[in-house]
Amino acid sequence: GTRAVLDLPPRRVGARQDSEDDAYTVQELLDHSSRAEEVEDVAGCPRCVGRVHVASSSSSFRCESDTVMFRVNRYDVANGRPVKRCDPIAPEMRLRLGISNSDVSDFDLVAEVEHSGDSYRTGHYQVVVRTDCGWERRDDSRSEYYGLKPHIKHQNVYLLVYARQEVVEARALEFERSQQGGEQERGAQEAELRRQNVAEERRQPQVDAELRREQEAASKSREVEERQAREEELRRQQLE
């Protein structure tokens, strides 16, 4: 997949770090990365007096794959040490990105990684991921189900993963078909179980009749054996 780093603009004056209204969007960060820069021509221009200022613009971001991962650069350097910025970031659920010089495509948010802590070497990471059943947060061995809308801690956004809309929809359609196939299989199993139950109910009278006949035959056999035993005992007594 495509990877890119999103730099934070200079701090907004009066912005609140705990306010979602003051949050940056991914598109704003992309625009900031592609902003025009004023460069001074240090060599000067032989036909002009003084220096010449030339406006140059970095190339616009393009995604050349079905997925793209953005990493937010949250660290400034102060006194030779990295200092973390906690500017809130509210990522778009759907983002339109260039895929060539003239074509664009829609990309859907599928995962987001959050980092809490002062240093990228320490702290704690959590992931909010879009599954076939909805959004959920995974924190080590624990998970929390959100449903159709993710709950994002905007101050901790560190990584964002987007996938082409067609890919996401194709996966959702595949999951729906697999669910339908599973339901059809369960329906067939239930129908077979009902058929077996009906057949068993129909055969039960025959089974009961056979059981009664066997019990009657066993009872008659015992009566015959008992009568023979009594007659044998009577003959023995007569001989004595």
Distance CA 160, CA 29 (A): 12
Structure tokens given for 51 = 């220096």
What mean pLDDT, rounded, does the chain reach? 80
Written as one letter, the residue type at 214 is E
User: What pLDDT score was predicted for residue 212?
Assistant: 85
Overall average pLDDT of the 15-26 stretch? 73
Residue 71 predicted with pLDDT over 70: yes
User: What pLDDT score was predicted for residue 184?
Assistant: 66
CA neighbours within 13 Å on the CB side: how many for 79? 1
Residue 24: is it exposed, middle or buried by C-beta count within 10 angstroms (0-12/13-18/19+)?
buried
35 compared with 226, residue with greater pLDDT? 226
Q: Where are the alpha helices (DSSP H) in the chain?
A: 26-33, 165-239
Q: What percent of the chain has pLDDT over 90?
A: 31
Residue 65 predicted with pLDDT over 70: yes
pLDDT band with cut points at 50, 70 and 90 for residue 38: very low
151 compared with 16, residue with greater pLDDT? 151
Overall average pLDDT of the 162-190 stretch? 78
Residue 76 predicted with pLDDT over 50: yes
Structure tokens given for 231 = 């007659």
Q: How many CB atoms lie within 10 A of CB 165?
A: 15
Residue 187 predicted with pLDDT over 70: no
Distance CA 182, CA 169 (A): 20
Overall average pLDDT of the 152-180 stretch? 87
Overall average pLDDT of the 9-18 stretch? 65
- Start-to-end C-alpha separation, the chain: 109
pLDDT band with cut points at 50, 70 and 90 for residue 35: low
28-37, 38-47, 82-91, 143-152: segment of lowest average pLDDT: 38-47
Evaluated on CA atoms 82, 86, 88, 92, the torsion sign reads: positive
Residue 46 predicted with pLDDT over 60: no
Structure tokens given for 56 = 């140059």
67 compared with 206, residue with greater pLDDT? 67
Backbone phi, psi, residue 149, to 5°:
-125, 130
Overall average pLDDT of the 188-212 stretch? 78
User: What pLDDT score was predicted for residue 236?
Assistant: 82
Distance CA 200, CA 73 (A): 70
Overall average pLDDT of the 197-214 stretch? 80
User: What pLDDT score was predicted for residue 207?
Assistant: 79
